[in-house]
Amino acid sequence: MTLRVLCVFLLSGWLSVSAAALPIPENGPALRIQGSNTIGAELGPALVEGLLQEQGLLKIHRETPDTANEQRIVGQTAQGQRVIIEVAAHGSSTGFTALKNASADLAASSREIKDSELLALQALGDLKSPAAEQVIAIDGLAIILNPANPLEQLNTEQLARIFAGEVKTWEELGSRGGAIHLYARDDQSGTYDTFKELVLSRRGKSLSSAAKRFESSEQLSDAVSADPQGIGFIGLPYVRQAKAVAIADGASQAMLPLNSLIATEDYPLSRRLFFYLPPESRNPWAQALATFAQSPQGQAIVATSGFVSQTVQAMSVAPNALMPEGYQSLSRHAQRLTVNFRFAEGSASLDNKARQDLARVLDYIKRNGKTERAVTLVGFGDLKDDPARADLLSKLRAMAVRRELVKNGAVMREVRGFGALMPVATNSADEGRIKNRRVEVWVY
């Protein structure tokens, strides 16, 4: 750290313990995180602990104040100075509110920032820029039942009608049990926002007033497990003793919330978990935590916390009769990587997660000796009036990914486009069309 930089930290109320360490404030917490309960309950604190360990701090532990869903993660320097990071987990919306009123340095969100929030926070910089919007993990919303319920799968249309209170009994769904009891997260929850966006709002539905609401994911899951007539939605790590059912969307196959299908975001109720770091932030701990979360060590913590990491792996895909012949052939001879490249809404440009994933895929390709004609890119798209146009656009998407990989020394084996075949979401909604516009990576 230069003398000039050290002086800046001193003038702003920060003290540096060494040239390699992050500066420590003279008073108050080093970092304040607010937002998602899904992130703040365990994942956020675990990532903070990892960062404190990386910084060489000692006696790292958690302290629980009197306020529910809040924690302090505390470490100690070799000189005995306490380093405190505060985590408040009252729902994604509260994180953006806290950024606006300067009561947080970093927002944790289990949904993408809304346009209204982006506008309200524009004084802090562009929170949709790649540096500001950081995807730290992938989660899947599991639809959970009591383990005794024999139902095995539902589609998103049925889900919307169930949670709107239009489908009132299990018998209407071909199951048994009488009246359906609804369990849902509270209005501040990013889990609820995601369910509302992916399931209810898409079909013009609202959550039934009969639903029992919970701020705690654990309490909701346990309530469904104890109620033979219960159904709820929950983040993947909180299935606990409940039973998850397979979900279909539009013409997609019904999918269980499996790690591989959530990693690629093919599972209909998969979602991204975010850190939002204001570009104008002067807090070095906020940037350090965002960087640590993207590192291999950070992604290992994501996995051990029960979420799906973004670490790239190869997986075998069993061919089936619903696949086009060319895709069946590919699955017989190659393995698919656990990442899909997707594109910014209304754009041919890769979205922020895809930009992060480029580095991960390149690292995988180089580490595994796949740089010379061992990689095939497969593009897909949404339904068009002209199938030939859908085929062309799907291949152009794959070529856009190819350009980025080739820039960094990888030579592709093949680039293919399958048009609107094999949808993973309905094409009747913008969110579904965006999910269907994707590029898969296969390795030989």
- Cα angle 120-101-14, degrees, rounded to a multiple of 5: 125
pLDDT at 205 over 90: yes
Minimum mean pLDDT range among 191-200, 240-249, 264-273 = 191-200
Rounded to an integer, the average pLDDT of 415-444 is 91
pLDDT at 10 over 80: no
Picking from 253, 282, 304, the residue at the C-terminal end of a domain is: 304
Rounded to an integer, the average pLDDT of 403-411 is 95
Residues 286 and 171 in one domain: no
What range does the domain containing 224 cover?
139-261
pLDDT band at 75 (very low <50, low <70, confident <90, very high): very high
Nearest in space to 275 (alpha carbons), one of 298, 247, 243: 298
Q: What is the pLDDT of residue 230?
A: 98
pLDDT band at 15 (very low <50, low <70, confident <90, very high): very low
Minimum mean pLDDT range among 9-13, 132-136, 357-361 = 9-13
Q: What is the pLDDT of residue 188?
A: 85
The enclosing domain of 403 has a CATH number of: 3.30.1330.60
421, 380 Cβ separation under 8 angstroms: yes
Any bridge partners for residue 86, and if so which?
32, 72
Residues 204 and 283 in one domain: no
Rounded to an integer, the average pLDDT of 165-186 is 96
Question: Of 287 and 18, which is predicted with more confidence?
Answer: 287
The structural domain count of the chain equals 3
Pairing outcome for strands 153-155 and 14-16 = unpaired
Residues 316 and 439 in one domain: yes
pLDDT band at 193 (very low <50, low <70, confident <90, very high): confident
Minimum mean pLDDT range among 42-51, 190-199, 350-359, 366-375 = 190-199
Rounded to an integer, the average pLDDT of 5-9 is 36
The enclosing domain of 39 has a CATH number of: 3.40.190.10
Q: Which residue has the tokens 């680039």?
A: 415
Q: What is the pLDDT of residue 346?
A: 67
Q: Which amino acid is at 326?
A: G
Q: What is the pLDDT of residues 300-328, one digit of tens each?
A: 999 999 899 999 999 999 999 989 999 99
Residue 268 lies in a domain: no
Q: What is the pLDDT of residues 208-217, one digit of tens each?
A: 999 999 999 9
How far, in Å, CA of 328 to CA of 321, rounded?
8
Residues 298 and 319 in one domain: no
Pairing outcome for strands 82-89 and 153-155 = unpaired
Residues 101 and 149 in one domain: no
Residues 98 and 177 in one domain: no
Q: What is the pLDDT of residue 94?
A: 97
pLDDT band at 252 (very low <50, low <70, confident <90, very high): confident
pLDDT at 293 over 70: yes
How far, in Å, CA of 73 to CA of 51, rounded?
11
pLDDT at 370 over 80: yes
Q: Which amino acid is at 278?
A: P
Residue 267 lies in a domain: no
pLDDT band at 386 (very low <50, low <70, confident <90, very high): confident
Residues 181 and 285 in one domain: no
Q: Is the pTM of this model over 0.85?
A: no
83, 76 Cβ separation under 8 angstroms: yes
pLDDT band at 344 (very low <50, low <70, confident <90, very high): confident
